[in-house]
Amino acid sequence: MKQFNSIIEIGSFSIKTIIFSNENNAPKIEGVGKSNTQGFDGNNVTSFDEFIDSIKKSVVQAEKQSNFIIKECFILLANKSIKINKFKNSLMLNYSIIENNDVRKLSKIKLKPQKDFLQNIHTSHYQINDDLITDNPIGLSCKKISRISLVSMIEKKQVDLIENIFQKLQIKIINFMDSTTSYFLYLKGKKLSKKNLILIDFGFNHINILVIKNKQISFIKTLPIGCRLISDDLVKMLNISFDFAEKLKISTIDLFDDRNPVIEIPVWEEFGNNIKNKIEHDYIKKIITSRLDEIFNSIFKILPQDKNFFSYLFTGGGSQIKNFQLYFRSKFGHEIQFLTPPSSSGIPKVLNDSSFMSIYCAYYLQTLKSTEKDDFLKKIDSFSNKIWYKRFVDIL
């Protein structure tokens, strides 16, 4: 009989569920669910009942596909309630050879209890004599070996809130996960050739920035801005509903369409009249790009000074705007690549985009799916970003 596990991602825009099996060390996604988040803004619950209903919808979709009822799950979060700290502990070996027992000693870490936080610890890397970085220190000789750990700290009040909701759903929470360490450990497990990466998770209410330098986390930042601002601008400027603004943003407007077609905008139907305004595509595109310019100018101000020598990865729903890649290259002079689940992931094609990447990374870590060793970044050369940067400066 198959053993099933599940992960539920609580986001400000959508709730995602994955049910998976791992029979004979062959992990497989058995069911997937996605619903729009209601009653939750990413940090606070605004309507308890609506929030529970939106979780139920996602869970039921995955349960029907897998023919399995979720009784327990992992919860994945990505918001400002999470902090990531580094922790270093060391062992003096006096130039003896590192053995398995030495690594086990380093893994026995007792974290200081935190009243206000739930803590999870993950191995980032090992350090030899405060110099050499390695993932596998066994067999080396050194004076001192250190383990650098990532401590994921999730606010207890957020944990209590989610646990209370899932108790009502009669689902036991096994543990909480965060998207930042999930992304990092996924990329680390892929054995990428690129050492310096900037990952931008362009979410609905938040933008999460992860900078990896020399295959180590060097910078983490969560900004309280996201692609919702674009939809809000469209609602105000065009006097349309929020749902229609979302459709314009993701499905209709092309950031590199120069034909300037006319877009029909429905007028509020006070008296049941099906009236539509006709507005130029370029006018709506300008609303979107103006907000994008503002968002990414703010981001570039906080990135490292040597940001032009990094490879850029994007994920999250905000990066799904049509021709976002060309916009970013022409505006900021950087080639970018989207981080998406592989086509063989088991996620239905209609859902398999960058917005599903965070929960896929969590699934990857839970199953230790080491069969995917493809270096999907090999086509991006940081040198190409240097060339684009030079062209960009020359234009200025």
**Domain end: 177, 208, 228, which one?**
177
Q: Are residues 252 and 316 in the same domain?
A: yes
Span 291-340, pLDDT tens digits: 999 999 999 999 988 888 899 999 998 999 999 999 999 999 999 999 99
User: Is the C-alpha dihedral spanning 168, 174, 178, 183 positive or negative?
Assistant: negative
Residue 183 belongs to some domain of the structure: no
Q: Output the domain CATH number for residue 330.
A: 3.30.420.40
Judged against a pLDDT cut of 50, whether residue 173 lies above it is answered with yes
Q: Are residues 129 and 266 in the same domain?
A: no
Q: Are residues 285 and 352 in the same domain?
A: yes
Span 256-271, pLDDT tens digits: 888 888 998 887 655 4
Distance CA 165, CA 52 (A): 7
pLDDT (mean) for 59-68: 96
pLDDT (mean) for 349-359: 90
User: Is the C-alpha dihedral spanning 188, 190, 191, 197 positive or negative?
Assistant: negative
Amino acid type, 247: K
Judged against a pLDDT cut of 90, whether residue 276 lies above it is answered with no
Judged against a pLDDT cut of 50, whether residue 396 lies above it is answered with no
Percent of the chain surpassing pLDDT 70: 91
Q: Output the domain CATH number for residue 101.
A: 3.30.1490.110
**pLDDT band, very low/low/confident/very high, at 392 (cuts 50, 70, 90):** very low
Span 184-243, pLDDT tens digits: 999 988 877 778 999 999 999 999 999 999 888 999 999 999 999 999 999 999 999 999
Strand boundaries in 242-282, DSSP class E: 262-266, 276-280
Residue 304 belongs to some domain of the structure: yes
Task: Please provide the DSSP assignment of 44-89 as one string.
Answer: SBS-HHHHHHHHHHHHHHHHHHHT---SEEEEEE-STTEEEEEEEE
Q: What is the mean pLDDT of the chain?
A: 88
Q: Which domain holds residue 19?
A: 4-80+157-177
Percent of the chain surpassing pLDDT 90: 67
Supply the pLDDT for residue 268: 60
Judged against a pLDDT cut of 60, whether residue 385 lies above it is answered with no
**pLDDT band, very low/low/confident/very high, at 272 (cuts 50, 70, 90):** low
Supply the pLDDT for residue 296: 96
Q: Are residues 74 and 199 in the same domain?
A: no
Judged against a pLDDT cut of 80, whether residue 250 lies above it is answered with yes
Distance CA 154, CA 82 (A): 5
Q: Are residues 106 and 119 in the same domain?
A: yes
Residue 322 belongs to some domain of the structure: yes
Q: Are residues 258 and 337 in the same domain?
A: yes
- Six-digit token string for 25: 């060390």
Residue 264 belongs to some domain of the structure: yes
Residue 186 belongs to some domain of the structure: no
Q: Are residues 87 and 101 in the same domain?
A: yes
Residue 115 belongs to some domain of the structure: yes
Residue 185 belongs to some domain of the structure: no
Judged against a pLDDT cut of 50, whether residue 38 lies above it is answered with yes
Supply the pLDDT for residue 306: 84
Q: Are residues 362 and 264 in the same domain?
A: yes
Q: Are residues 286 and 382 in the same domain?
A: yes
**Domain end: 177, 209, 229, which one?**
177
Q: Are residues 60 and 168 in the same domain?
A: yes
Q: Are residues 371 and 355 in the same domain?
A: yes
**Domain end: 177, 212, 240, which one?**
177
Long-range contacts of 251-254 (CB under 8 A, 24+ apart): 251/322, 252/284, 253/281, 253/284, 253/285, 253/288, 253/321, 253/322, 254/281, 254/285, 254/322, 254/323
pLDDT (mean) for 142-159: 93
**pLDDT band, very low/low/confident/very high, at 17 (cuts 50, 70, 90):** very high
Q: Are residues 166 and 285 in the same domain?
A: no
Supply the pLDDT for residue 323: 95
Q: How many domains does the chain have?
A: 3
Residue 269 belongs to some domain of the structure: yes
Q: Which of 3-7, 279-283, 285-289, 307-311 has the lowest mean pLDDT?
A: 307-311
Amino acid type, 104: R
Q: Half-sphere exposure of residue 182, counting CA atoms within 13 Å on the CB side?
A: 26
Supply the pLDDT for residue 114: 86
Span 105-136, pLDDT tens digits: 998 878 888 889 999 999 999 999 998 999 99
